[in-house]
Amino acid sequence: MNADFDTYRLSEDHEAIRHAVREIAEAKIAPYAAAVDEESRYPQEAHDALVASDFFAPHVAEEYGGAGADALATCIVIEEVARVCVSSSLIPAVNKLGSMPVIIGASEEVKKKYLTPLAAGTGGFSYGLSEREAGSDTASMRCKATDNGDGTFTLNGQKAWITNAGVSEYYTVMAVTDPDGPRGGNVTAFVVEKSDPGFTFGEKEKKLGIKGSPTRELIFTGCVIPEDRMVGGRGEGLKIALRTLDHTRVTIGAQAVGVAQGALEQATAYIKERKQFGKAIADFQGVQFMLAEMAMQLEAARQLVYVAAAKSERNASDLTFFGAAAKCFASDVAMQVTTDAVQLLGGAGYTKDFPLERMMRDAKITQIYEGTNQIQRLVMARQLLR
């Protein structure tokens, strides 16, 4: 790993972005967060607000009509939205996840075709890697893309646990193009459009949290797509997919920091008002120690995420370690902080009168998706042992 300690510095632009997103989140996202969760519906209000403010896919370069936000700025956007609604924060997060393979490996023609509408907010992007029997073991996927020999491929199979499936217009899908080829070296990436014949969706998953973000299967039955939608070279799909995750695990860390920040703020406000034994419970040392521990862990997580974001921006050689570390540590912190926040509110924390039970449920997924935290620890160890 690199020994460059001065790895990031928040600029005035970064702080301006935080202020702008926080205003939008408080005014146009937070008021709907409870209903989005209760009704398990897509947060259209957040979607519209993010499109209107250029925060729908802020990472897209200016040459494609995007805001050209760097990795750190993109993390700040996701963090600030997650502070009030994790489901809504998946809009910019998954747009980056779905489009990152295109940014990394696609031809200029494919980039222009798909990044331009993404930047304009007319077409979101999702990411199709996992399958029911190929989660952590991505190389064992079975979804196939058969070369028809006429400039087209036919997709058959399914992808599971796909975030914002059915809402997004575009999907980067990994499929086996050479069944007899070397494991991991026989997968190719393609862009699939929502309107492609033979492409359908499974039923929405009924989930513990992030209920406002639809999670569905992608189902391909004789889905014919043109060869020019290939992302990168044939057989490079898994390599591109893993490079993508190096970058986007950082954004999950940012999401985790955001929900932990929101929970800390809610808990702090409550304990200053709640009185027991004749004084505010914030005056009790045991409560103060809990609060201090929550804030300390949260700040450590934020610093690690920001360092990883800086490394993502410059494609640092140790990004794989730092991306895994940021996602793993921040999500563990988010789970602990939201759990402790519920505890600090006591019985009130366990009710839907306050957002903390939702935050706690939402935080759990950050320890699971884009690679479980057990997998992140394997990734880090392998980097250390190289």
Query: Which residue numbers are catalytic?
Result: 370
Paired residues of 172 in beta bridges: 127, 191
Residue 79, C-beta contacts closer than 8 angstroms, at least 6 positions apart:
89, 254, 255, 257, 258, 261, 305
Nearest C-alpha neighbor of 257 from the set 297, 225, 217, 203: 297
Instruction: Write the single-letter amino acid at 292.
Output: A
Close Cβ partners of 27 (under 8 Å, ≥ 6 residues apart): none
| Residue 45 · residue 101 · CB < 8 Å | no
Return the closest-CA partner of residue 99 out of 151, 62, 58: 58
Q: How many CB atoms lie within 10 A of CB 196?
A: 17
Q: How far is CA 7 from CA 206, 242, 307, 322, in A?
A: 41, 23, 6, 12
| Single-letter residue type at 198 | G
Inter-helix orientation angle 285-313/71-82, to 10°: 150
Backbone angles phi, psi at 327, to 5 degrees: -65, -45
Residue 292: its H or E element: helix 285-313
Give residues with Cβ within 8 angstroms of 95, minimum separation 6: 56, 57, 59, 118, 124, 125
Classify residue 37 by burial, with Cβ atoms within 10 Å: 0-12, 13-18, 19+: buried
Pairing of strands 199-201, 279-280: unpaired
The tokens for 161 are 């646990």
- Token couple for 137: 């073991």
